[in-house]
Amino acid sequence: MSDSTESTKERTDKLKKEFDDLFAFNPAYVYGEQTVNKIVKSRRSMDNELFIDLLLRSLAIQRASTVYPPKSNHDLRDLHRQILKSPSQTHQKQSVLYYLLKDVNLPNKHTSPPAPPYAKSVYLSQKYRIFIDGIWLMDRGKFKEALDYLTEPILIPTFPEKIIYTLCTHREPGDNDLALAYYHTVKPAIDSYEVLEALFSTIAAGGVAGSLLWSRRHPKQIRQKLFERLITEVLDAPEGEERATRSMELIYQPFDKDEESWFEEYLTKEKGRSIPRAKDALRVRAIATGHGDAFDQGNGIRGDNGAGMEWSGSSFEHGLMTPPR
């Protein structure tokens, strides 16, 4: 037997022993079918990318969805092997192993979960445990519980854009608190416009004035795109009293010079002109700013009854024509 073969065998035996030690509670452990299905379903709901996928990629393990969740003991052992062979730092590999142990469901309720003892045995830093606890909960859709960990001051923001985007796109109607709580607590830099747009929509859902003020913090080009998104979200929302109220709130905002120009341009020349209430909004804005007569003359409108306007239901007509108190 050659030295190289012996060396390979030694490495294989070492990996087997390390796995058996890690899963000492059951070296033949297999992810249950229900657990696998839940993880697969969760990945689909999160744009086919879990936080564990990002961790595995950081260890140079590609195609995470094919290795996690492991569907057999052989698959689990192979994933363990790939993690240990990664050129990444030891604490990063230990963090991923800690994540895997958190997946373990032991049938005996009196048996302690294996993850905490493992973390203690390898002296895994508290900040890594807290972070893994948080993203493990995120991957399971337990967002409120996850934020108890991910907003800890001890943490350096990791995957903040993914966290914000997930919280924004999975929020319940009327519930904007989680995404905003994370954003205002962690205060991460956001480079992705897709994430910025999702966050802006969440802010806008909580109030037009607040979202307008927030948009003004950004460079002019970004500001304009966010402002146009606000117009669309408000004016092109489903019919009802909420749309009417928010439309009036937007139209009666004190726009600056740029916003005044963007408002008119977007609703007359850009994509916003296809919004059914675009012309209505322009007219009411003109009236609100003292330019109603000029607008009517420019659009061939006579009298004060708005003839020829495309009103779409009494609630919106009342909302547009009655300034907010």
Q: Which residue has the tokens 């909420």?
A: 242
Q: In angstroms, rounded to a whole number, what is the distance separating the alpha carbons of residues 195 and 213?
A: 18
Q: 217-276, pLDDT tens digit by residue?
A: 999 999 999 999 999 999 998 888 888 999 999 999 999 999 999 999 999 888 888 998
Q: In angstroms, rounded to a whole number, what is the distance separating the alpha carbons of residues 235 and 273?
A: 11
Which pLDDT score is estimated for 141? 94
Burial state string for 61-91 with b = 16 or more CB within 10 A and e = fewer than 16: beebeebbbbeebebbbebbbbbbebebeee
Percentage of the residues of the chain whose pLDDT score is greater than 70 = 86
Which pLDDT score is estimated for 222? 96
Q: Could you tell me how many residues make up the chain?
A: 325
Residue 300 has pLDDT above 80, yes or no: no
Residue 295 has pLDDT above 90, yes or no: no
Which pLDDT score is estimated for 30? 94
DSSP summary character for residue 109: T
User: Average pLDDT of 295-315?
Assistant: 45
The band of 178, judged by pLDDT with boundaries at 50, 70 and 90, is very high
DSSP state string for 178-230: HHHHHHHHH------HHHHHHHHHHHHHH-HHHHHHHHTTS-HHHHHHHHHHH
Q: 201-221, pLDDT tens digit by residue?
A: 999 988 999 999 999 999 999
Select from 141, 174, 188, 158 the least CA-distant residue to 43: 141
Between 172 and 207, name the one with better pLDDT: 207
User: Average pLDDT of 269-289?
Assistant: 87
Which pLDDT score is estimated for 97? 97
Mean of pLDDT over the chain: 86
The band of 298, judged by pLDDT with boundaries at 50, 70 and 90, is low
User: Average pLDDT of 78-103?
Assistant: 96
Give the CA radius of gyration of the chain: 28
